[in-house]
């Protein structure tokens, strides 16, 4: 399976925690995460707009095709080994991802607030996500 690019919000705590969780399980390096804020969107997938990238995560295939939202999340899981891959394959099929999409959109629309409630504060510094803990200096993250 070829490597795919996953565009995510580098300033989002939920997005960064999810990225770290996936990277820890992506033993074969099938996924390459790039914050949309530093990506050349037009080069990665013609027609991909900044507004669309802001709205939801994007999985971009080597031929430039892309999926977003809940379907992208399940595509990411599908590339992980074991049960996660099975779960992603099953939930990535219609009508299951259609059912998940409104929940994805709700969380995505409020991700900054939810991240704050969970204490998952990140910001991009020179294109690298850094976790921000009040009262402590920021530490670079592995993006």
On the CB side of 101, CA atoms within 13 Å amount to 14
User: Any idea which residue has 């795919």 for tokens?
Assistant: 4
Token pair in block for residue 98:
């259609």
What integer pLDDT is reported at residue 105 of this predicted model?
97
How far is CA 6 from its chain centroid?
6
Beta carbons of 35 and 124 less than 8 angstroms apart = yes
Encode the chain (143 residues) as per-residue pLDDT tens digits: 679 999 999 988 899 999 999 999 999 999 999 999 999 999 999 999 999 999 999 999 999 899 999 999 999 999 999 999 999 999 999 999 999 999 999 999 999 888 888 988 887 777 778 777 655 555 556 55
Q: Whole-model pTM?
A: 0.86
pLDDT computed for residue 85 by the predictor: 97
State how far the Cα of 88 lies from the Cα of 135, in Å rounded to an integer.
38
Residue showing tokens 């976790």: 131
């Amino acid at each position: 399976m070829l490597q795919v690019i996953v565009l995510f919000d580098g300033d989002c705590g939920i997005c960064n925690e999810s990225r770290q969780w996936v990277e820890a399980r992506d033993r074969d390096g099938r996924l390459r995460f790039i914050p949309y804020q530093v990506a050349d969107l037009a080069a990665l997938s013609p027609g991909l707009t900044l507004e669309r990238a802001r709205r939801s995560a994007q999985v971009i295939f080597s031929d430039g095709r892309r999926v977003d939202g809940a379907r992208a999340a399940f595509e990411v899981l599908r590339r992980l080994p074991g049960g996660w891959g099975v779960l992603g394959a099953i939930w990535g099929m219609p009508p299951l991802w259609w059912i998940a999409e409104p929940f994805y959109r709700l969380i995505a629309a409020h991700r900054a607030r939810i991240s704050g409630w969970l204490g998952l504060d990140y910001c991009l510094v020179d294109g690298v996500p850094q976790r921000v803990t009040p009262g402590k200096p920021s530490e670079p993250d592995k993006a």
